[in-house]
Amino acid sequence: MTLCAIVVTFNRLAELQITLPRLLAEDVDHIVVVDNASTDATPNWLPAQASDRVHVIRLDDNTGGAGGFEAGMAYARDQLDPDWVVLMDDDARPAPGALAVFRRETPGLESQFPRLGCVAAAVFYPDGTLCEMNRPSRNPFWHAGLFAKTLFTGSRAGFHVSDAAFAPDAPALPLDVASFVGYFVHRDAVAKIGLPEGGLFIYGDDVLYSLRLRRAGFTMALAPSVRFEHDCGTLGEGFVYRPLWKIYYHCRNGVSIARQAAGPIVFPAALAYYTLMWWRRGRHTQGVERRTYYKLMRMGLRDGLLRRRGRNDTAHALARAADKPAQAA
């Protein structure tokens, strides 16, 4: 088995300087680092790390995590041709020995899950608590029991993997959706469904890629014995993303998620549910920030329905303007 790690970075050199040595200490054949047009010291430091194992790609523009993963997977597919690739952000890295565990566990997973296309690691914060934003799930629109449970509870717990499933000795579980942190993809899946959609910029690229993979007939599995660490701080109170401009992409790309997860008939009801959920989260903001949140939400819904893609610099400018009064206060 050949294994290639893909790391996307943007202006977080301190995190990358932890992640890259951690990967070099692992049982991995290649490491592809995609620099998303960083403006800090990354362009000076990173090229010196290139080697037979470390491949550095410098993009001309910041295409977000989605564009970075698209570029990194394309390079791995076309230049390295590994059996598996594993994706992660620059602030995420495998726990010591995690990639050796993946190599050891994969033959058994392939026997248990025919046509295995993806293996998802168990992701934790550095303090050992579960990383909520990387909790994998099933698609409730594909499973009647989970759909009913979700309607009854009115929460993500209806279709997300439970805490007990993350114990190191817990059995592997089937999945429909996982995040691009500790996300292992088999070469057959890449050959069949292609690359992630880089135009999404950030958020939802992993969900939509997972749904494509499952629709193509591949299976996905959570391997709780393969453990990753994610030193992230994106989510604030009530699942409000920080910086605030991320709300735009969360809502815009969420329209596509609702469309793909629910299908054309149920899509309007699914989108109405998502919209209500996003609106409720906005109540955790106040003042100028609240007004900006709802404006970005409306922009995201509009552009999602129009199937627009790419980076929206207007959304970034609105968030910066809202942040100044907050800092002054």
270 — phi, psi (to 5°)? -65, -45
Average confidence (pLDDT) over 41-45: 98
pLDDT of 235 above 80: no
CB–CB of 219/178 below 8 Å? no
Summarised one tens digit per residue, pLDDT across range 148-171 is 877 777 666 678 899 999 999 999
Summarised one tens digit per residue, pLDDT across range 115-148 is 999 999 999 999 999 999 999 999 999 988 877 8
Average confidence (pLDDT) over 257-261: 97
Nearest residue to 193 (alpha-carbon basis) of 211, 216, 175? 216
Q: Which DSSP string do the residues of 182-244 spell out, in sequence order?
A: SEEEEHHHHHHH----GGG-SSSHHHHHHHHHHHTT-EEEEEEEEEEEE----B-GGG-BSST
pLDDT of 24 above 90: yes
319 — phi, psi (to 5°)? -65, -40
pLDDT at 150: 75
Average confidence (pLDDT) over 51-76: 98
Residues whose CB falls within 8 Å of the CB of residue 255, separated by 6 or more in sequence, listed in order: 271, 274, 300, 301, 304, 305
Average confidence (pLDDT) over 264-283: 94
pLDDT at 329: 41
CB–CB of 177/138 below 8 Å? yes
CATH 3.90.550.60 domain position(s) in the chain: 3-230
Could you name the CATH architecture of 3-230?
Alpha-Beta Complex (3.90)
In the block, tokens 């129009």 appear at: 306
CB–CB of 308/255 below 8 Å? no
pLDDT at 169: 95
pLDDT of 276 above 90: yes
CB–CB of 8/35 below 8 Å? no
Indicate the pTM of the whole model: 0.94
Residues whose CB falls within 8 Å of the CB of residue 307, separated by 6 or more in sequence, listed in order: 256
CB–CB of 229/125 below 8 Å? yes
How far apart CA 298 and CA 162 sit, in angstroms, is 32
pLDDT of 66 above 60: yes
- Of 155-159, 182-186, 222-226, the one with minimum mean pLDDT is 155-159
pLDDT of 238 above 60: no
pLDDT of 198 above 60: yes
Question: pLDDT category, 243, cuts 50, 70, 90?
Answer: confident
Average pLDDT, the chain: 93
Dihedral sign (CA 304, 307, 310, 312): negative
Residues whose CB falls within 8 Å of the CB of residue 27, separated by 6 or more in sequence, listed in order: 3, 99, 100, 103
pLDDT at 98: 98
